[in-house]
Structure 1
Amino acid sequence: MSLNEYRSGTAFPGVIGRTTDESSPAWPQPVRATPGTPNVLMIVLDDTGFGQLGCYGSPIATPNIDALAAGGLLYNNMHTTALCSPSRSCIITGRNHHANGMAAITELATGYPGYDGNIPFENGFLSEMLLQHGYNTYLVGKWHLMPSEQESAAGPYDRWPLGRGFERFYGFLGGDTSQWYPDLVYDNHQVAPQKTPEAGYHLTSDLVDKAIDFIADAKQVAPSKPFFLNFCTGATHAPHHVPREWADRYSGRFDDGWDAYRERVFARQKEFGVVPPEAELSRHDPDVPAWDSLTPDARRLAVRMMEVYAGFLSHTDHHIGRLLGFLRETGELDNTLVMLVSDNGASAEGGVTGTTNELQFFNNAPEPLADSLGKIDDLGGPSTFNHYPWGWTWAGNTPFRRWKRETYRGGASDPFVVHWPAGIAARGEVRTQYAHIIDIVPTILDVLGAEPPAEIRGVAQSSLHGVSFAYTFTDPAAPTRHHTQYFEMLGHRAIDHDGWRAVCPWPGPSFAEAGKPFGVPISAEDLTDLDAHHWELYHVAQDFAENYDVAEQHRDKLIEMISLWYVEAGRYNVLPIDGSGAVRLVVERPQITEARTSYTFRPGTQTLPFAVAPRVLNRTHSITADAEIPPGGAEGVLLCQGAGTGGWSFYVREGRLRYSHNYVGRTVYHVESTGTVPSGRHQLRFEFEPTGKPDIANGEGTPGRARLYIDGQPAGVGNIPITTPIAFNPGGLTCGANPGSPVVPDYPTLFPFTGTLHSVTVDLDGELITDIESEARMAMSRQ
C-alpha cells in the first residue's frame, strides 16, 4: 500500500481521531527530483586563458576537455567579469557581480552596496535552488566567496559552502593554495592531506577522489537522485605545481617563445572554427618584451616556466578525465549536464620575468636571474611557489589583447564548453551567440523546467540577471538573446551591446602607454576626462579581437554606449567607480572581534589564516610558551607561521630552544639557546626588538635583535639582519606543529612538540609598519 503523502504547506490529509485505531496517517512528502532529471557538473578552471586549451587551438594537451567539446558544444563568445571571486559569484547566483557585493576581491571591500564583499542572501546560490528540486549538492575545490576574516574557526559559518546550500564541501576557502601542501577544509573543519608529496599527493588528484566519493556515497543509497557538483580546481592558478614528468613532456615545445606561440595558436583557432575566418590577431602588447630581446638565460627560464604550466594544465585535464570516466563507468555521464568554464583570462601576476617563489614578488624581493636559474630544476615542485612571465599570459589569451583584471577581451572572454549527450544532439559544434556567466544559472533552471524560487529559507529572492542560452543547444544560427552586458573591474570599464563593444581602460591600454601602474585611484576630475576622451569603440561583430578603435568614426554610437554603461551601472550598484587597489586595502571594515595586542593559542587547534593571525612583522613582539619537558627531553614546534617559501618558527630541537626566520625562501636566520632546556614546566620566551627601520620598497623588513629566555632568564641572543617586510603566503599560523612545507629546512614536516604544551601567547608592541600597495598586489595575485 502506498503512503499517503502531502506537500509542505498544505493541509494534513489524514484523519486524527481520539486513538490510532480511529485515525489514519499521512506523511510530509520528501523532496524528490522528477524522474530523468539530469545531474549537473560545473567545472570551473582558474586563470585559464582563451588560447590555452587544446580545443581552443593550444598545443597543450587537454584530451579530456577536448572530448567534452567534441561530444558537445564549444562557445567562443562567453564572458566573465575578468577576476576570480566576482566571476564565481556570477556563476553560482546568476546575478551580476556588483549586485553580489563582489566588485573585486573581498580583501578590497569598501562600504558601498556593490563593494562590501558579502553576497546578499536574497541572491540565492544554485546549490540552494537545486536542493528544492531533490538534488544532492557538493562543492569540491576553491571557494573564495566570503570575507577572509570569516575563514577562521570563529566563523561566522553562514557564508561558508555548507551555509549556502552545499551539503558537502572539500577544498580550500581562500584564493590560492599550495598544490602539494594545501590548506584543506572538509565540510566545516580543517583537515590535513592524507599523504605527503613524496607519497604521491597532489591537490587535483585529491579533489577528484573526494568528488567521486561524494557522488558514490549518495548513489549507492539513492541511485536515481541527481547531483549538482561544483568542481573548482586550484589549477591553473599559481603556484604552478605539477609532478616533474608532466612538465618534461613539453621539453623544447616552447623554445620559439610567446610571439610564435600566438601565431601557431591563432592559425589553429581559424582551422578549428574557434575564431571567425576574418579575425585578425591583436597587436604585440607594449608591456611584453619581444622574445628575441631576452637574454639566452632569461629565455631558458621562461621556457621552463611555460613547460611547467603546460604540464600543470595537462595534469589537471587528466584528473578531470578520471572524474568523467567514473561518471561514464556508472552510467551517469550521458545524462549529466557538464559545463566547463574559466573564471577569467590568463594571469599576469608573475610579472615581466616570472618568479620561482611568489612570496618574493609580494615582498618586493625579486630574486636575481642567476638565483632563479639555480632553481630551474625545482620549478613545479614542493620547494617552489612559481608563476610564469606575463609574456605567456598574453600568449595564453590568444587572439585577444591584455589579461585578467582588465575588461578587454583577454581578461573577460574565456573558454566555455557544454556536454550533455542525453539533451544535446549536436556534436563538436561551435556556438557564437553572446553569453555571460550570469546566464549559466538561468540556463540550468531552463533545462530542468524550473522557475527561480521566490524565496529561500524565508528570504525573498531577487530576480536573476542572466538569460538562458539553452536555445543555442539546438539552433546554431539563432540570434543571441543576451543583448547588453556591462563590465567594471578596478576602474577598468567596458560594455557590450548587439555586436558593439566600448572599453574605457584604466590606467590605460597598457601600463607602458599610461605611464601609471595598476591600482591608481580615479578622481572625479579623472573620470570626467576618461568619459570625454578615453573610451574606445570596437565593432566586435566584425573585429573579433578589438583591433580597430572606431570611436572617432562612430561618435554617436560611442555616446550611446557610454550612456548605456551608466544605466547599467545604476541598475547593478556599480557606482562609485573605484580604480584604487592599495587605498581599498586599508579601509576599516567590521571585524568579528575588537582589536587586540595579545593572542593565546593552544596545540591541536586549527591553523589561523593570515588575515586573522597576529601581525608580527616590522614591530616589537614576544612569544611565550608554557611547556613541560619530560625527563627524557622533548622537541618540536611551539608556534610557527608560513611555509618553506618563507615564515618563522619557534621550536625546540636537540634539547635547545630555537627561533628561525625564513626570509622569502632565500636565507634562514637562526638564534638558539646556549644550553638545553631542562625537564619540568617552563616559560619559554622569544623577544624581537627592532634595531633599524625597514626598507620595504627594496624588500627588506625591520632588522632586529632576537633574544631567548627560559623562565625569565636570558638563554640566547642573536641578530636578524633582514626580516620579511610584508606578508607570508602560505601564511597560516599553527600552535604545536608545522603542517605542510616545513618553515625550517632542518626539521621534518609536522614536527609536533613531544612534551606537554599548555599554551603559547603572542604579545605585540610598537606601531605596525607595512606597505599597503604591496599587500594589495599580493591580495590581487591570490585571485
Structure 2
Amino acid sequence: MAQSSWREYRPGQRFPGVIGRTAEESTPAWPQPVRAVPGAPNVLFIVFDDVGFGQFGCYGSPIETPHLDALAAGGLLYRNMHTTALCSPSRSCIITGRNHHANGMAAITELATGYPGYDGQIPFENGFLSEMLLQHGYNTYMVGKWHLMPSEQESAAGPYDRWPLGRGFERFYGFLGGDTSQWYPELVYDNHQVEPPASPEEGYHLTEDLVDRAVSFIADAKQVAPDKPFFMNLCPGAAHAPHHVPKEWADRYRGRFDDGWEAYRERTFARQKQLGVVPADAQLSPHDPDVPPWESLTADARRVAARMMEVYAGFLSHTDHHLGRLMDFLKETGEFDNTLIMVVSDNGASAEGGATGTTNELQFFNNAPETLEESLARIDEIGGPTTFNHYPWGWTSAGNTPFRRWKRETYRGGVSDPFLVHWPSGIKARGEVRGQFAHIIDMVPTVLDVLGIEAPATIRGVTQSPLHGVSFAHTFDDDGAASRHLTQYYEMFGHRAIDHDGWRAVCPWPGPSFTEAGRPFGTPITMADLDDLDAHHWELYRIDEDVAETRNLAQENRAKLIEMISLWYMEAGKYNVMPIDGSAFERMMQERPQITRTRTSYTLRPHTQVVPAAVAPRVLNRPHSVTADVEIPPAGAEGVLLSQGTNAGGWSFYIKDGHLHYAHNYVQRTLHHVASGESVPAGRHTLRFEFEPTGAPDIAHGKGAPGRAQLYIDGRLVGHTEMPVTTPIAFNPGGMACGANPGSAVTPDYRAPFRFTGTLHSVTVDLSGDLIVDAESEIRMYMARQ
C-alpha cells in the first residue's frame, strides 16, 4: 500500500501540522477517520424467534435445517445456553450484555409498567453492541424484528432515539413490533414506513425480503470499502406466529408428524443423545399435564394438529434455505471465514396457540378460540395469506425436548435454547459440542473479547454501566474449560428460577402446570401468594446431573434450597427485579404515558403513515364516532376512509358502488356489515359512522360489547344494524390507516389497499360519547325492527 502523502491525527489531539500566514508556508494534517483494526472479523447475530431446544436438525429434530447444521458442523454447538423466556427481554440482553430487568425489559414492551425494571425503556447507559462497534470502524445493520422500545414510540411522532437508527444501527429494514404477517408485513425502512415490494400472489414472503435486504446492505458498503467490517443483527420473524410459508414447503412434511408429539419427543431425545446434545444418561422430562395425549384426540383433531406442525416445520426449513443464500453470498465475497456468526433463539417454543392451536392467533389474544370444526374447514389455508396460525402446545412441549414447559416460564423449556458459533478464521474446533453454562448476556462480552475491544466508558457522552455477562471465548478451543458464568437469575410473569454452580432452583407460577395450579397464565400475585410460594413451592435440581429437571431435591436438601432462594433475592435486588408481578392482562390494559396529553378527539389525514395500535384511538367497547370530510367528484368515488386491522380482525369505513359502508371483522369468525340505503352524492359531504354499546362486554369469554352501528350522510341516518358481538381486547396487527387499507383486506368486500379515489380532507375519531340524536330517524329505525 502506497504511503499517504498527508498526516493524520486523532480528533481531540493537538494539530500536528503547520499553520502559517499562507498555504504555501503551511503543512496540512487531517483528523483520522475511524477505522477498524485490519483483519477485524465481521459479526453476524442471527436471532430466531420462539424456536425450542429440539427444533433445529443439529439438535436432534426431524425438521430439516441443513444450513444451520452446516454451521454446527463447521463450528460449535452449545447445549447449555440460556435466555430470559421471552422475546423483548432476551433481545435486550443479546444486544446490551446486561440483564433484562436492568434494561427495563421485565416483559414485552406492550406490557410495560411504571417501575425501573418494567418500563420498557432500555437506559442509554446500557449501550448496544452496535453503538460500541461504531466507535471501532464497523458498519452496523439491523434487519428484521426490533421490539426493543415502548410501543407508544413506534409512530411517526417518535421520539426516534430508541429506534434502531437511534441505537447505533446505520441501516434498518424490518418491523418494530413483536410479530407481523410474513405475507403482509408492517415494514419500516430506516425511519419510515414502507409497503412490501410485492404481493403474496407475486411470490412475496418476508423472510426472503429480509435476506435480500441483508445482502444488499453488506454489498452496498463492501463495494466501496471492502476492508470495512460489519455487524449485523438479523432477526427473522421465524418461527414466531403466524407460521406463514409457501404451501410447497409445508407439503414436504406431509404425513411426517402423524404419529404425534410423544413420538416426536422420543425420536428427538434419542437423536440428541447420539449427537451429544444431551448426556447419554439424561432422563426425558415427563409428559406435561397440560398436553392431551395424542391418542386421546379425535381423528380430525390429529389431522389439524399434524398439519399445523407440517406448516411450522416448513416455515423453519424455508427460513434455513434463505439463510443459506446469505451464507452463499458471504462465501462468494470471501467474507464467510472471517465472519463471527452466532445463532440463537430468544426463548423456548411458544404455547400461545393454546391446547388446540388456531388458524388465527388473534382469537387466542381475544379469549375467543375457534372450534375444531372451524379449524378443520380451513385446514388447506393454514400457513397461507388468509391465516394467522399457531400450532397447539403439544408441539410446543415436543419442540423443547428434552426439557419441561415452554416460553414465558423459567423451567428449562422456556430458557434453554439452541446456540451455534461459527468462525473458521478464529476457531480451530470443528463440529464440537460445548457444555459450559452460558447466558445471552455473555454474547456482547464475548464479541468484545475476541475483537480485543474494551467496553466503552461513555457512549455519546453517557457514562456506561458495567456489563453483566462474561466472555465464553475461552471455550472456543477448549472443551474442558471451566464455566465462568456461575450465577444467573430468571423472572418472567412471577415465574422464577436461579442457576448457580450446577444447581437450579425454580419457583413456578401459577404452578408447575396450569392443570396442577388450577389457575391460568397471567394470574396476579398477592403478598399472601408470594409468602406461600417462598415457603412451600420452590423446587431444587442438581442440573449438571439432571438436565431436564426430573428429580426435585427440595425436601432432601432444604439447606441448599434456602441458600438458592436467598441468592435469588440478592440477584433480584441488584437488577431491578422487584416488584414481582405475575399479571398479564392487567399489564396490557394499563394506561401508559403518551407523548401528548390525553384526548378524546383524533384527526387523521390521508397519505400519512399507519398509526400503530399503541397510539391509535381505542375504540373497542365504548361509544365512538368516525367522521370523514370528503369531496365526491361528479363521476363518483370509492375506497377506504379509515381502517384498522387486517383480514385476521379489524374494521373498515369505506365507500363502494356509491354507497357508504362499515364492516367489523370479529376475529375472522363473523363479519358485521352495514351499508347506506342511498348513494353518497357528488360534492363535499360529512360522512359519519357511530357505534353505541347496547350491553357490557364479556371479555373472559371473548366477546366485546354488542352495539348499534349507524351511518350518516350530512347528519342524516342512512343505515343501521345491530352488532351482537365485537372484538373485545385488541387487533393484531392493529395499525389504523387513513384513506386506505394496507396489507390484507379487513373485509372481502374489496381488494386491499382500496385507496380512496375522491378527495379526503380528514377523518376524525371521537371517543367522547357525543353521538348524533335524530329522533325521527331513530323512531323509523325502531319501528322497522318490530
Secondary structure at the counterpart of residue 250 of structure 1? coil
Q: Which residue of structure 1 lines up, in the alignment, with residue 773 of structure 2?
A: none
CA spacing shift, 1:171–1:330, aligned 2, 3 Å: same
* Counterpart code for 1:368: T
Distance in 2 (alpha carbons) for counterparts of 1:102 and 1:500: 26
Distance 1:527 1:664 in 2: 36
Residue matched to 1:534:
537
Quote the residue 2:723 is aligned against.
720
- Aligned residue among 731, 736, 739 for 1:733: 736
Q: Which amino acid aligns with 2:234?
A: F
- Confirm whether residue 687 of structure 1 aligns to residue 685 of structure 2: no
Distance 1:169-1:328 versus aligned 2 partners, 3 A rule: same
Deviation, structure 1 residue 64: 0.5
Q: Which ranges in structure 2 are unaligned for 5 or more consecutive residues? A: 771-786
Between 194-203 and 357-366, the greater mean CA deviation after superposition? 357-366
| Counterpart residue number, 2:170 | 167
1:584 Cα deviation (Å)? 2.7
1:427 paired to 2:410: no
Which deviates more from structure 2 when the two are superposed, residues 358-367 or residues 128-137? 358-367
Alignment match, 1:781: none
Q: Which amino acid aligns with 2:322?
A: H
Partner of residue 770, structure 1:
none
State how 1:250-289 maps to structure 2 within 5 Å: 250-289=253-292
Q: 1:388-403 alignment to 2 at 5 Å?
A: 388-403=391-406
Q: What does 1:547-696 correspond to in 2, within 5 Å? A: 547-696=550-699
Question: Which residue number in structure 2 is paired with residue 36 of structure 1?
Answer: 39
Q: 1:509 aligns with which of 504, 508, 512?
A: 512
C-alpha displacement at 1:680, in angstroms?
A: 1.3
**How far 1:588 sits from its partner (Å)?**
4.1
- Which moves more between the two structures, 733-742 or 511-520? 511-520
Aligned pairs for 1:294-305 (under 5 A) are: 294-305=297-308
Secondary structure of 1:305's counterpart equals: helix
Local SS of the residue matching 1:465: coil
Q: What SS does the aligned partner of 1:269 have?
A: helix
Partner of 2:180: 177
Determine whether 1:320 maps to 2:323: yes
Q: Tell me how many residue pairs correspond in the alignment.
A: 767
Structure 1 residues 417-446: Cα deviation after superposition (integer angstroms, max 9, x where no partner): 000011111111000011000000000000
Map residues 435-454 of structure 1 onto 2, 5 A cutoff: 435-454=438-457
Cα distance in 2 between the residues matched to 1:209 and 1:657: 41
TM-score between the two structures when normalised by the length of structure 1 = 0.97
* CA deviation map 1:159-201 (0-9, x unaligned): 0000000000000000000000000000000000010000000
- Indicate conservation of the 8 Å contact 1:161/1:169, yes or no: yes
CA-to-aligned-CA distance 1:324-361 (integer Å, 9 cap, x gap):
11111111000000000000000000000000011122
* Residues 106 and 492 in structure 2, CA contact (< 8 A), matched pair in contact too: yes
Letter in 2 for 1:527: L
SS in 1 for 2:496: strand
* 356, 361, 367: which one aligns with 2:359: 356
- Tell me which residue corresponds to 2:11: 8
TM-superposed deviation, 1:702: 2.0
Q: Deviations over 1:565-604 (max 9, x none)?
A: 1111111111222222233334443221111111111101
**2:495 match:** 492
CA distance in 2: counterparts of 1:531 and 1:476, whole angstroms: 37
Separation in 1, partners of 2:267, 2:184: 36
Q: If the length of structure 2 is used for normalisation, what is the TM-score?
A: 0.96
Contact 2:352 2:364 in 1 (8 A): no
Match of 2:192 in 1: 189
8 Å CA contact 1:491–1:506 kept in 2: the answer is yes
Residue of structure 2 in register with 1:158 after alignment: 161
Distance 2:230 2:669 in 1: 47
1:408 aligned onto 2:411: yes
1-structure distance, mates of 2:766, 2:304: 43
1:777 aligned partner = none
Corresponding residue for residue 780 of structure 2: none
**What code does the residue aligned with 1:4 have?**
R
Shift in alpha-carbon separation, 1:601–1:688, aligned structure 2, 3 A: same
Q: 2:84 is matched by which residue type in structure 1?
A: T
* CA displacement, residues 705-736 of structure 1 (integer Å, 9 cap, x when unaligned): 22222222222222222221221111111000
Q: Counterpart of 1:100 in 2: which secondary structure?
A: coil
> Among 128, 132, 136, which residue is 2:131 paired with?
128
Q: Contact between 1:495 and 1:501, CA under 8 Å: does it hold in 2?
A: yes
Work out the CA distance in 2 between the residues paired with 1:728 and 1:141: 21
Per the TM alignment, residue 699 of structure 1 is displaced from its structure 2 partner at its CA by 2.2
Q: Which moved more, 1:245-254 or 1:679-688?
A: 679-688
Letter in 2 for 1:175: G
- Unaligned runs of at least 5 residues, structure 1: 768-783
Deviations 1:10-44 (A, max 9, x none): 11111222222222211110000011000000000
Helix, strand or coil: the match of 1:91?
helix
The letter for the 2-side match of 1:666 is: R
Displacement of 1:120 in angstroms is 0.5
- 1: distance between equivalents of 2:94 and 2:621? 40
Residue 243 of structure 1, aligned match among 223, 228, 246: 246
3-state SS of 1:651 partner = strand
Report the secondary structure of 2:406's partner residue.
Answer: coil
Residues 385 and 645 in structure 1, CA contact (< 8 A), matched pair in contact too? yes
Q: Does structure 2 conserve the Cα–Cα contact (< 8 Å) formed by 1:619 and 1:765?
A: no
The yes-or-no answer on 1:367 pairing with 2:370 is: yes
Q: 1:475-506 CA distances to partner (integer Å, 9 max, x unpaired)?
A: 01111111111111111111111111111111
User: Residue 457 of structure 1 corresponds to which residue in structure 2?
Assistant: 460
Q: 1:642, 1:760 → 2: CA distance?
A: 17
The ranges of structure 1 where at least 4 consecutive aligned residues each deviate by more than 6 angstroms after the TM superposition are none
Tell me the residue number matched to 1:779. none
Q: Give RMSD over aligned pairs.
A: 1.1
Give SS of 1:642's match: strand
- Between the aligned partners of 2:124 and 2:604, the Cα distance in structure 1 is 33
Aligned AA (2:288): D
Distance 1:706 1:579, change over 3 A: closer
- Is the contact between residue 253 and residue 314 of structure 2 (CA under 8 Å) also seen in structure 1? yes
CA contact (8 A) 2:601 2:768 kept: no
Query: How far is 1:364 from its partner?
Result: 2.0
479-488 vs 191-200, which deviates more? 479-488
CA distance in 1, matches of 2:296, 2:220: 56
The Cα offsets for residues 641-692 of structure 1, whole Å up to 9 and x where unpaired, read as 1111111111111111111111111221221122221211111111222233
Residues 691, 702 of structure 1: 8 Å contact kept: yes
Give the counterpart letter for 2:702 in structure 1. Answer: G
